[in-house]
Copies of this chain bind each other. A is one copy, B any other.
Amino acid sequence: MPKSKKKRPAGGVKSWQARLTMDADQITAAFLSSLDVDSSLWQYDIAGSLAHARMLKEVGLLTAGEFRKINKGLMSIARDMDAGTLAMPIELEDIHMVIEKTLIDRTGQAGMKLHTGRSRNDQAATDLRLWARHSIHVLSQAVRDLQRALVDVARHQGRLVMPAYTHMQRAQPILAGHALLAYVEMLDRDHCRLAGTLKRLNVCPLGSGAVAGTSLPLDRRMTAQLLGFDGITRNSIDATSDRDFLADLCYCCAMIAVHLSRWAEDWIIQSSNEFGFVELSDAYCTSSSMMPQKKNADTLELIRAKGAGAIGSLAGLLALLKGLPLAYNRDMQDDKRFVMPAVAAVHQALVVARGIVATAKFNRQRIESDINAGFLDATSMAEYLVGKGVPFRKAHQIVGRLVSAAQANGKHLAELPLPALKAACEKFESDVRRYLGAANVVRRYRPEGSAGLAQLNKQLAYWKKELE
């Protein structure tokens, strides 16, 4: 793995600003080169070449000696890449060419045989699939880690009764853990989507050549197996021009990012002075350069922002592919410019989110002090009447009027005297008190998936097992 060796960000050297000041030839060279993004693929390119070379040896297109030279040459290139010392002249355009050229410099004739039966088109497609496969593993793990962090908080702080919101208005009382597990559900669909993407992509295009295959007797199943693929692609034209797996991955990233943005929005609002429900660790907040009192949930805002980046990447990648004639077109070189930043940003966001969740505290006192504001028990009161045979629509109207009356008098529903209730509907009895107040309401939730304690415990048990 390459390690960052220097303090200065890349931007300082070859900045967006600098790009505007190069001369026309430099610009054309820079324009054609994808080294700034595809050098990330070096490990996969070398792995693919090793497998290809070994297969060439097995089918007799390389001698054992040539294979040894290639093998040794590729390993030396890997060491130099890892050390960050390999020269990558921009004129070579991409990492594939850099590696092949270097190999030929180091091994002569043997290196000139590596590209036998191979094209940049099937080679790049293979490298990208290997990269995407690794990215999915990393993302899936990060999704799972965040799920575990959410479940942990749900287990330890989740029995607190708090308001649920719809339309940003107080709706019904819930246990805090129930809200946390809602995000766990979203992330689980993300995990499932990543798995589906992995399954579809894990077939090997190597041996498809530039577009039509080759007349050489390659053993495609051997290279596929060496590289850990489940099988081989069926059609050389499709294999060299298909980028569905990158679009799928981009879409997975967009959905994760959208889910994270909803959570971030919730917690940004809930950590405002006015709500005060959630307290974030200082490690995830920053101050203001001008206002000395500020403690801003910046990290959450940046997480929210990543949704936009991923949406842009997805829309861009699809616009790239739309209307492209078969087969490979150079437009596809830009595929990495959409998917690589999206994967990196979403991965970062997942890791950071986990840290935020793991260190967050619900402000029990603040939440409880205000828990009976907003008539969270109005629905429960209507359901009480339903239990007494009042049609729900009628019960809804009755309680609606009682809410208005209570509001006008600055009272909670539980504080209305029984005669006042009976005046609204004669079915009210004193047992209605057991349906009122947030704590009572939460206790009464019945069906599976509701926001009460029994359901929460069941869900916690489910996730404990699922995420082990």
Contacts and interface: CB of A to CB of B under 8 A. Distances in A.
Contact of A273 (B14, B169, B341): B169
A426 to B, nearest CB: 16
23 contacts: A2-B17, A4-B14, A9-B36, A11-B36, A24-B354, A104-B393, A113-B386, A117-B392, A119-B290, A166-B328, A167-B298, A171-B211, A171-B212, A178-B237, A179-B326, A182-B327, A207-B449, A218-B447, A262-B321, A269-B269, A291-B378, A305-B320, A308-B317
Contacts of A348: 19, 27, 30-31
Nearest to A348: B31
Contacts of A445: 212-215
Contacts of A221: 448
Given A31-B352, A115-B393, A447-B213, A308 B331 contact: yes
B178 A235 contact: yes
A223 to B, nearest CB: 10
How many copies altogether?
4
A271 to B, nearest CB: 8
Interface string A316-327: 111111111111
B174 A296 contact: no
B216 A179 contact: no
B236 A178 contact: yes
B212 A7 contact: no
Contacts of A254: 318
Contact of A323 (B164, B251, B265, B352): B265
A330 B298 contact: yes
B24 A40 contact: no
A104 B179 CA distance: 35
Contact of A118 (B111, B248, B290): B290
A15 B39 CA distance: 7
B311 A318 contact: yes
Nearest to A266: B325
A465 interface: no
A450 B213 contact: yes
Interface string A136-160: 0010000000000000000000000
